[in-house]
Structure 1
Amino acid sequence: MHVASFFRQLRAVRGKPFPYVWVPEVHKDGVHFHVHFAVGSFIPRGQIDTAWGRGWVHIKQLNDLPVGSGAMAESRVAANYLSKYVSKSFLDTGNGVIRPPGLHRFDVAQGFKPSVVKVPGTSRDEVIEHASGAMGGRPARLWTSDEVDDWKAPPALWLQWDGR
Structure 2
Amino acid sequence: MLREDVGEFFRALRDELAGASFPYVWVPEWHKTGHGLHVHFAVGQFIPRGKIAAAWGRGFVHIKHISDLPVGSTKWEEARRAAGYLSKYVTNGFEPEGRARLLGLHRYEVAQGFQPPVISLNGRSAWELLKKAEAVIGGPPARSWSSAEVEDWKAPPAVWFAWS
Q: Which stretch of the first structure deviates more once superposed, 92-101 or 6-15?
A: 92-101
| Matches of 1:97 and 1:18, distance apart in 2 | 35
Q: Which stretch of the first structure deviates more once superposed, 63-72 or 134-143?
A: 134-143
Q: Which of the residues 51, 54, 58 maps onto 2:58? A: 54
In the alignment, does 2:105 pair up with 1:128? Answer: no
| Matches of 1:144 and 1:52, distance apart in 2 | 42
Which deviations, in whole Å up to 9, do the C-alpha atoms of 1:95-145 show, x marking residues without a partner? 444432321011111111111111212333332222122112221123679
Assess if the C-alpha contact under 8 Å between 2:30 and 2:95 holds in 1: no
Give 2:8's aligned amino acid: S
Q: Please give the TM-score of this superposition, normalised by the length of structure 1.
A: 0.81
Q: Please give the TM-score of this superposition, normalised by the length of structure 2.
A: 0.81
Relative contact order (C-alpha < 8 Å, sep 6+): which is higher?
Answer: 1
Q: Which of the residues 48, 73, 78 maps onto 2:77? A: 73
Tell me how large the CA RMSD over aligned residues is: 2.8
In the alignment, does 2:32 pair up with 1:28? Answer: yes
| Matches of 1:49 and 1:106, distance apart in 2 | 21
Unaligned runs of 5+ in 1: none
In the alignment, does 2:21 pair up with 1:17? Answer: yes
- SS of the aligned residue for 2:15 comes to helix
Assess if the C-alpha contact under 8 Å between 1:30 and 1:97 holds in 2: no
Assess if the C-alpha contact under 8 Å between 2:29 and 2:37 holds in 1: yes
Greater Rg by CA: 2
Equivalences, count: 156
Q: Which stretch of the first structure deviates more once superposed, 80-89 or 16-25?
A: 80-89
